[in-house]
A and B are shown apart, each in its own frame.
Chain A
Amino acid sequence: MLIDKSQLKIFVLRLADDALVIAHRLSEWCSHGPSLEEDLALTNVALDYMGRARMFYGYAAEIAGDGSTEDTYAYDRDCRDFTNLLIHELPRGDFAFTMARQYLVDEFNLAYMELLQQSKDPTLAAIATKANKEGLYHLRRSRKWLLRLGDGTAESHNRLQQAMEDIWGYTTELFEMDELEQAIVEAGIGVNAIHLHPQWKQRVTATLTEATITVPSSDWAVTGGRKGIHTEALGHILSDMQFLQRAYPGQQW
């Protein structure tokens, strides 16, 4: 089955938005990390995601072929045009929240990028190969932090448990597929996220159990990111990130 260019562009922008928004959230820790080492680690992971976002946006611009650049997508679109999964935009919260989100996303991304390496689209396969190598280090770090926080002091344990409870309902969306993504999968280009769920759940459960954290119940879910329906948080990110380009369009460093 073949897909047209506009479908491919929409798909690539989804991956780009995911990466940009989580990069922004991680970068907010710059100079606020709990220790110098963690400050460096958080911002280095942010840089990896920012690089990933730039590669995806650059590819979307190439597909569009209408003079758009990576900056057009990052700076000139409004909330409803962003199609990132909501989990990425949630405010950074405390360190436990940031690491809880990061761990859940790292487990998902690593499995996703591993499969995307097989994409029939050579550019997506190449980006996925880089993302996969980096993702191994991301996951190793976030998993260790989960064990340390969960099995640490009563305070760190409680904060991590609370973070998991607050985030859990946003993980449902990671494994949703719409018609467009189905078509992309059938064309041999994308990844069927639904198939990733059993392994993700198993791995996450194992880590949380080892961290003495109770796996939250799945009795609520918030979705809508892929349709451009966001939480309040995304607007605040954009007002921060886009201000300069909105006020002074085309401004460069």
Chain B
Amino acid sequence: MVNLMSTPSSKISLLSVENYDRLKRRQESNHKAVWNLLDAVKDPEIPPLSIWDLGVLQDITQQQAVITVTITPTYSGCPAMQVIAEDITTVLQRAGYSNFRIATRLSPAWTTDWLSESARNRLRQYGVTPPQEEDAIFCPQCSSTEVRLISEFGSTACKALYQCKTCQEPFDYFKRI
């Protein structure tokens, strides 16, 4: 684990080495424009999160004239990955890039620990409870932790279905993996 001062608040957040490396790759990249462009690519199932927020976007490199965009899959069979690859292609082509390829990297395996604080807040505002310790799962509507699991799998593999026992509302929980 690496300590980094996060800019907006003075809170010290804990970053995994893998995510620290990812941040560093972006900060030290010669392709900042491409990284920024790809902030426009959202998870088709969870539009408030970009592929950068999710940790899917891993690296952007260039060899000779070819730019390689490296992504990592969330869940093995997540159908959104196909759409994400298509969306990356569309965004880059619209910006005038033609010589690029999309590579998939499996290791390090994707984890929800890579979600930033801001991404977690946006998830919650969207009505999805961000990944938590099991006993801290709360209702995104009323914040109650009196909740019950309805199903381990919700509308997508990454979410579980819960119901709040306080306000009775059902809600999606973004599983910790």
Show the binding face of A for B, using Cβ within 8 Å.
23, 37-38, 40-41, 44-52, 54-55, 122-123, 125-127, 129-131, 133-134, 137, 140-141
Contacts and interface: CB of A to CB of B under 8 A. Distances in A.
A52 B77 contact: yes
A41 B107 CA distance: 26
B140 interface: no
B130 interface: no
Interface of B: 73, 75-79, 106-107, 109-111, 150-157, 161, 175, 177
Contacts, number: 76
Contacts of A37: 150-151, 153, 161
Contact of B110 (A38, A54, A130, A140): A130
B151 A51 contact: no
Contact of A51 (B73, B152, B154, B177): B73
Contacts of A46: 77
B75 A51 contact: yes
Contact of A126 (B106, B155, B175, B177): B106
Contact of B107 (A38, A48, A129, A137): A129
B151 to A, nearest CB: 4
Contact of A141 (B111, B152, B155): B152
Contacts of A133: 109, 111, 177
B54 to A, nearest CB: 15
Contact of A41 (B106, B109, B153): B153
B151 A134 contact: no
B77 A40 contact: no
A55 B106 contact: yes
A181 to B, nearest CB: 23
